[in-house]
Amino acid sequence: MTAFDEMSVDGQKLRSAYARVKSWLDGTDPKTLKRHSAEAEMLFRRIGITFAVYGEADAEERLIPFDLIPRILAHDEWERMREGLTQRVRTLNMFLADIYTARECIKAGIVPADLIDANPQYRPEMIGTRLPGDIWVNIAGIDVVRVDPETFYVLEDNARTPSGVSYMLENREVMMRIAPELFYEHAVEPVDNYADELLQALQSVAPEGVKKDPTCALLTPGPFNSAYYEHSFLADKLGIELVEGRDLFVRDATVYMRTTLGPQRVDVIYRRIDDDFIDPLAFKPESILGVPGLMTAYKAGNVTLANAVGTGISDDKAIYTYMPDLTRFYLGEDPILKNVPTWRCREPEALSYVLDHLPDLVVKEVAGSGGYGMLVGPKATKDEIEIFRAKLKANPDEFIAQPTLALSTCPTFVGEGVAPRHVDLRPFVLSGRNGVSIVPGGLTRVALKEGSLVVNSSQGGGTKDTWVLAP
């Protein structure tokens, strides 16, 4: 299976967006690249950009490897993607507003009722709730992969607490420090305004009747969370308090933070804690990360949570398969970004096809994430395939299957030279009362192992700076 390389087609024809990077690579010897690489690593380590890998006690803080060769998107490629992403996120928001109120998509037979009602990510607590601006997913991370010059697929919608945006911003900072000459030769669209856009989006959804300068705070599980660096980074860029559950309390259905000046009201909470943990009175009672009574204040409309409670239903892998239909249903438009062709194993015909073709397919748990709980057929051993076959037969509802995609590759610095490696892209899509906004770019993740298709940082993936060229 040959993958489409974003720099040159068939290793021959150079694609124009990469022309200057190609000559930069040709004119720079591997030793210099290696030195740049080491410089970049030192910068990241000093700034403290680390992440924790769950289940690795001795590796409390690790760096995500950074690849210094940028991934480049031409202006028109990006424009089409931007339109597609906007459409996708509008659909997500309309779907969520619908299933918690009128349930039109179920009545119209687009989505089966049991996929919603029996889904643990569906939060009955939210039924009947209207949110400011009808926005449920204020911040979305949409994972996009490319298989040829024309085709981008949405691989996954992340509508809960998507992370990675700090890498998008820091990768650009580091890139500008180590290869300033490349920026002279390219007109690269800036990404620095992300924090401003995010703050505007958050402030725009403050509860009705709040003074014109609403107080926002970022709620983190704390320094032991794998994405803590990102939480502190964002709070700093936004100029809002980074709070833990114990810094907040609820009185008279209103949220306050404990300060040196006494209690201060909080209007909008950008929360980076999962639904299950935000309020021990409403959800997991043993959670010490959350704020007792938060749901009461939320339901009373006295505080806005971003993202809303209950968005997990929309990025579920089972719901994913209905997204193209939902776009047509709510917007009356054809989807600009395609879904990866997907077999729903809950449907008997699909299941029997999947069981017959396991060695060629990627099988994913509907509820899984982070590259865990999946089978990559072509890379799996016979035993692994048999284990999955048994799982599939026992609980077909819990799985979907997709063809193994030839993800596009980008030139990547490995060891002593440059070689193609598979990539994906996570752009960050913001929604507020004033509409949808997306900074040009996103987080490119790269599978550093030769031939590997798994880009997750927890599984040895790295990142790249992502450039969108100005027109």
Cβ nearer to another protein, comparing 245 with 396 = 245
Residues in the chain: 471
Cβ nearer to another protein, comparing 5 with 247 = 247
Question: Helical H runs in 339-456?
Answer: 348-356, 382-394
For the CB of residue 228, give the shortest distance to another protein in the complex, in Å.
8
Q: How crowded is residue 370: how many other Cβ atoms within 10 Å of its Cβ?
A: 12
For the CB of residue 240, give the shortest distance to another protein in the complex, in Å.
8
Pairing of strands 8-9, 13-14: antiparallel
Cβ nearer to another protein, comparing 177 with 357 = 177
Q: How crowded is residue 372: how many other Cβ atoms within 10 Å of its Cβ?
A: 12
Cβ nearer to another protein, comparing 217 with 443 = 217
Q: Are the C-beta atoms of residues 250 and 294 closer than 8 Å to each other?
A: yes
Q: Running DSSP on this structure, what letter comes out for residue 164?
A: -
For the CB of residue 445, give the shortest distance to another protein in the complex, in Å.
24
For residue 317, give the 3-state DSSP assignment. helix
Binding stretches for another protein (CB under 8 A):
45-48, 222-223, 228-229, 232-233, 235-236, 241-244, 246-247, 257-262, 264
For the CB of residue 222, give the shortest distance to another protein in the complex, in Å.
7
Cβ nearer to another protein, comparing 232 with 404 = 232
For the CB of residue 220, give the shortest distance to another protein in the complex, in Å.
10
Q: Are the C-beta atoms of residues 111 and 319 closer than 8 Å to each other?
A: yes
For the CB of residue 183, give the shortest distance to another protein in the complex, in Å.
22
H or E segment at 247?
none
d(CA 198, CA 306): 11
Cβ nearer to another protein, comparing 45 with 130 = 45
Q: Running DSSP on this structure, what letter comes out for residue 186?
A: S
* CA separation, residue 296 to residues 99, 105, 180, 206, 467 (Å): 21, 28, 51, 16, 43
